A = this chain, B = another copy of it.
Amino acid sequence: MPTVYGLRTSGNCYKVQLLLDLLGRPYRWVDTDSAAGATRTPAFLALNPNGKVPLLVLEDGRRLAESNAILCYLAEGSPYVPADPWERARTLQWLFFEQYSHEPCIAVARFVRRWLSPTDARQAEVPALLERGARALDVMEDHLARELFFSGGVFGIADIALFAYTHCAADGGFDLSRWPQIGAWLERVRAQAGFSPMAA
């Protein structure tokens, strides 16, 4: 049984939980509070020198970091990864979009607003994060006006990755009613058999 080191309220960690629950695969979860420094200890850095969760550890001790690489690895051969080479490439396009253009705005706005003090200097970052995050949501809305899911016409790991921080974007100050296609897609994701919600 694989082990996942993760923080339940982190969207990046939730991606791995959601995929494993959808696959119906048993796993062990080790709560690892990155916000409290648990990923910067010598013991954790020996597992992942980049000091981040989620981290997947296989039974034989092999370790894999980076949420979206973990999704690709665990989903291989399942209906959540397309078999067609072009659709696989489009899946990866959305996974890299998520980590470069979406998460650094939408997840960070949520972190600053929910986890930091209202007087923290980083609150000043929020307006720029909201502006850049809105552009990422616009790109998703544009795509969802033409397709039901993010690649291959069916639900898959690109949807899991983008769902993780989009569904809780309101925590960061985004008003999701501005993006109705996204709202409908969020419901299509929640309707998947085996869906599990993120911890509150």
User: Is the beta-carbon distance between A97 and B65 smaller than 8 angstroms?
Assistant: yes
Contact status B96-A50, CB under 8 Å: no
Could you tell me if A89 and B68 are in contact, using CB atoms closer than 8 angstroms?
no
**CA of A68 to CA of B67, assembled, Å:** 16
Residues in B whose Cβ lies below 8 Å from that of A68: 92, 96
Q: Using an 8 Å CB-CB cutoff, how does the interface string of A73-117 with B read, 1 for contact, 0 for none? A: 100100000000110111011011101110110000000000000
State whether A92 touches B104 (Cβ < 8 A). Answer: no
Do B97 and A72 touch across chains, with their CB atoms under 8 A apart?
Answer: no
A92–B76 touching, CB < 8 Å:
no
Q: Which of A67, A92, A97 has the most CB of B within 10 A?
A: A92
Interface residues of A in 31-67 (CB under 8 A from B): 49-50, 52, 62, 64-67
Answer whether residue A69 sits at the interface, using C-beta atoms and an 8 A cutoff.
yes
A167 touches B (CB below 8 Å): no
The interface residues of chain B lying within 8 Å CB-to-CB of A88 are 72-73
Contact call B92/A66, Cβ cutoff below 8 A: yes
Q: Closest Cβ of chain B: how far from A45's Cβ, in Å?
A: 9
Contact of A101 among B50, B76, B96 (CB under 8 A): B50
Residues of B with C-beta under 8 A to A92: 66, 68-69, 72-73
Q: A85-B76, A86-B62 are in contact. Are A49 and B142 (CB under 8 A)?
A: yes
Q: How far is the CA of A100 from the CA of B101 in the complex (A)?
A: 10
Q: Indicate if the CB atoms of B66 and A96 lie closer than 8 Å.
A: yes
A interface, CB within 8 angstroms of B: 49-50, 52, 62, 64-70, 72-73, 76, 85-86, 88-90, 92-93, 95-97, 99-101, 103-104, 138-139, 142-143
For the complex of A and B, 5 pairs with smallest distance between CB atoms? A66-B96, A69-B92, A73-B89, A69-B93, A66-B93
A-B contact sample (14 more), CB < 8 A, given A49-B142, A67-B96, A69-B93: A49-B138, A50-B97, A50-B101, A50-B139, A65-B97, A66-B96, A66-B100, A68-B92, A69-B90, A69-B95, A69-B96, A72-B88, A72-B89, A95-B96
